[in-house]
Structure 1
Amino acid sequence: MTSSTTTTTTTATTRKLYGKDLSEYDDMDMDQLLAQLSPEEIDILAKEVDPDDNLLPPSQRCSYTCEKDPTGPLNRKKLIEHINKQALETPDKPELKPYVPGVVRGKKWVPPENIQQKEIEEQIAIDLGDEYETALSTATQEEIIDLAAILGFHSMMNQDQYHASLLNKGQPIGLGWDGITKASQPKLFPADPPNATDPDRTIQQVKDDDSSLIDLNWNNIKNISDEKFEQLFNALTMSTHLETLSLANTGMTDRLALKLADTLERNNTLRVINVESNFISPAVIVRLVKSLLATKSIEEFRATNQRSQVLGNKIEMEITGLIEQNPTILRLGLHLEYNDARHRIAAHLQRNLDRNVLILDAYAAFFCLLNLNDLRNNETLR
């Protein structure tokens, strides 16, 4: 019977620090080593070690130790004055080499030699045709410069050529760069005439439900009293012919806008409302948009450029929810900051437009059928 013995050898990685083996220090007692140190040696050791412990106060982590006794509470003003005084009284460190005017201290910088790159000439043959070649061969230098500026080749100039072109060096006044980039005089147009609409007369027409008054435009009329606005809004509740109401830049406030919202809830003929460039707050704009749901007859509503340029996320989301409930609104004039509100409103307005197209097609088909039935009845009677 043969027996075999297996020997297992374990090799450990030797730990070293600065070339010394650290395994001989494994059995040493740290407390015993620290007890052999003097207080001065412990202080030196403490300055070399920074305990990475956030729970320790900064006074124990910092190696700086102040031997002075505290003189009192912190006075920032006196501390800054003391620091400035010490800075003024402390003499500057002497320079290793004193400054002498005209003498360069240290190594003087010498720019490298300019290495001229060899220009590679490459000939490109371009057939422009006889007409263009004749025109270019007979063109003057001024005409070629003007042509280069028109075609955008002036960006290929170097810096010297660019500034020479700006100053028109060697060129007559009015030609070259100056002649191409010279701004044209703005064309003056006459100012728009003031709005000649008479508020009192139009208010009376709305009260009388005048069938000829379909579009009421009070845009840019100043100094309209609140009483006239209230008379107009009260008359609109009984109007059956007015379809467009424009009140842009009339100084309308929140109080008047709330009365307009109450009027819109009781009017079934208005199709377009414009209250741009007034002093309506975002909350009242929400109230106006909400009033459009009462009759669902308004197709266009505009209220941009108000007292507050930014509506805010909450207001925009409320307006978006109200617009999505309105099946008749086709155009909305409001500045929306957030993409979500803009995309949702745009998608809903597009659906309303598509629905109107389908309804018109259905009506057209219905009337065609009626006409066909009438024709058949007439032929049967004959």
Structure 2
Amino acid sequence: MADLKNDYNKYADIDEDEILKNLTEEQLEELAYELDPDNNMLPASERMRPQTKKAPTGEFSRQKLLDFLEKKAKEEKDWEEKVPYNPGQKRGKVYQKKEDKKKDDEKTNGNKKQEEWEDELEGATEEDLVELAGILGLHSMLDQEQYAASQRSVLGDEKIVGLDGERMKFSAVTKASLPKDFAMEPPNTTDVEGSIKKLKANDKELKNLNLNNIKEIKLDVIKEIFAAAGDNTVLESLSMASTGLADKAAAMAAEVIKKNSTLKSMNLESNFITSEGMSILCKALANNTSLTEFRVANQRSMIGSKGEQEYAIMLEKKNKTLLKLGLAFEHAGPRSMAQDALMRNNEAVRTQKSGKK
């Protein structure tokens, strides 16, 4: 698998435009013949490959074409039939109209039931019914408390049945329990203006800045935050998840990644960054040597296979210090490359620590 990955990687830096410039006219024509543009928006005449180089004999005439086809049909001999034709005799399978099967309209409690299902369910044991419920996915409707109660004995034995022997039995009465009411997460009360002043003053106490879930931050304030964070030499963690950041803010965050050499963690999850902004952030991470954690998952739109490949190549070839990447890869290839690169970076840190000890 590693050899196959290396075979693909050696073609990553090839410039296709440069190769096409050096091809002759005959080679370009041969290449165009081999490639089939799979584009449904093109008409069929432009998608199909040329089948002949014969020049047209003249303008198209529908009547001449029909006369030619009729002449060719009369000149060709009829196919030999296996069964000779006799007038009035029917050949092959004679069509017979099938009788319509009447549906069973018998109703039981307002629901229609088929006789086959009724016969099967009448003779089913408890184990068969439980197994059928598992196949239909009904077991997922029980929570852990209900499932444990359903396996207890009717006689009051609180011992839960084991996995072997009687694991299919549901004997006791199961009662539903009301869902627990969890308190809402308190709002973020961080003073944004005060945090900006501390960033500009390089306050030694401000090492972690958490602005998550603050929706009222305007673009001018965001610009001021990133400008101050770029020049700061104390800040180690900057978290701005779910703050409404878009591509313009992503470009500002990329400048922070390029300038700041003390920042170790950045969180930009659950915002409105598109694939364009994700690409800008990826290019900034390529030359960064201070960040060990970068989270940018759950954005407005998926970055696609091209964007995932860009992040995977950045981790594999350029960034050697990033240890955690919060990004959900949808494709297996880039995901595997990114995991291998992060594992390599973590192993390098572990080896360095063990060498110091």
Shorter-chain-normalised TM-score: which range? 0.5 to 0.7
Kindly state the Cα deviation for residue 144 of structure 1 after the two structures are TM-superposed: 4.0
Show the counterpart of 2:248: 255
Alignment of 1:283-322 (within 5 A): 283-308=276-301, 310-322=302-314
Q: Which amino acid aligns with 1:264?
A: I
Show the counterpart of 1:5: none
Q: Deviations over 1:39-93 (max 9, x none)?
A: xxx999759489xxxxxxxxxxxx9xxxxxxxxxxxxxxxxxxxxxxxxxxxxx9
1:190 aligns with 2:200: no
Aligned mates of 2:84, 2:327 — CA distance in 1: 66
Q: Secondary structure at the match of 1:301?
A: strand
Alignment of 1:22-101 (within 5 A): 48=83
Show the counterpart of 1:354: 347
Deviates more, 1:322-331 or 1:352-361: 352-361
Instruction: Return the match for 2:172 from 177, 186, 195.
Output: 177
Aligned mates of 1:213, 1:283 — CA distance in 2: 31
Aligned mates of 1:235, 1:319 — CA distance in 2: 27
Q: Secondary structure at the match of 2:291?
A: coil
Root-mean-square deviation (CA), in Å? 3.2
How many residues align structurally?
217
Instruction: Point out where structure 1 has 5 or more consecutive residues left out of the alignment.
Output: 1-41, 51-62, 64-92, 96-141, 163-175, 365-382
Q: Which amino acid aligns with 2:306?
A: K
Kindly state the Cα deviation for residue 219 of structure 1 after the two structures are TM-superposed: 0.2
Aligned mates of 2:84, 2:223 — CA distance in 1: 83
Aligned mates of 1:49, 1:289 — CA distance in 2: 76
1:281 aligns with 2:291: no
Relative distance call for 1:177 and 1:321 in structure 2 (3 A) is: same
Q: Which amino acid aligns with 1:283?
A: E
Aligned mates of 1:354, 1:186 — CA distance in 2: 44
Relative distance call for 1:47 and 1:303 in structure 2 (3 A) is: same
Show the counterpart of 1:329: 322
> Contact (CA 8 Å) 2:198, 2:206: kept in 1 or not?
yes
Percent identity of paired positions between Structure 1 and Structure 2: 37
Aligned mates of 1:288, 1:316 — CA distance in 2: 12
Kindly state the Cα deviation for residue 212 of structure 1 after the two structures are TM-superposed: 0.4
Q: Deviations over 1:1-49 (max 9, x none)?
A: xxxxxxxxxxxxxxxxxxxxxxxxxxxxxxxxxxxxxxxxx99975948
Show the counterpart of 2:227: 234
Alignment of 1:336-347 (within 5 A): 336-347=329-340
Relative distance call for 1:338 and 1:48 in structure 2 (3 A) is: same
> Contact (CA 8 Å) 2:291, 2:322: kept in 1 or not?
yes
Q: Deviations over 1:116-146 (max 9, x none)?
A: xxxxxxxxxxxxxxxxxxxxxxxxxx95455
Kindly state the Cα deviation for residue 217 of structure 1 after the two structures are TM-superposed: 0.4
Aligned mates of 2:194, 2:321 — CA distance in 1: 31
Instruction: Point out where structure 2 has 5 or more consecutive residues left out of the alignment.
Output: 1-76, 86-90, 92-96, 100-151
Q: Secondary structure at the match of 2:231?
A: coil
> Contact (CA 8 Å) 2:288, 2:319: kept in 1 or not?
no
Aligned mates of 1:307, 1:355 — CA distance in 2: 34
Aligned mates of 1:326, 1:43 — CA distance in 2: 74
Kindly state the Cα deviation for residue 234 of structure 1 after the two structures are TM-superposed: 1.0
Aligned mates of 1:239, 1:210 — CA distance in 2: 9
Q: Secondary structure at the match of 1:220?
A: coil
> Contact (CA 8 Å) 1:311, 1:336: kept in 2 or not?
no
Kindly state the Cα deviation for residue 293 of structure 1 after the two structures are TM-superposed: 2.6
Q: Secondary structure at the match of 2:319?
A: coil
> Contact (CA 8 Å) 2:313, 2:337: kept in 1 or not?
no
Q: Which amino acid aligns with 1:151?
A: V
Q: Secondary structure at the match of 2:270?
A: coil
TM-score by length of 2: 0.54
Kindly state the Cα deviation for residue 273 of structure 1 after the two structures are TM-superposed: 0.6
1:151 aligns with 2:161: yes
TM-score by length of 1: 0.51
Greater gyration radius: 1
Show the counterpart of 2:211: 218
Relative distance call for 1:256 and 1:187 in structure 2 (3 A) is: same
Show the counterpart of 1:68: none
Aligned mates of 2:304, 2:290 — CA distance in 1: 27
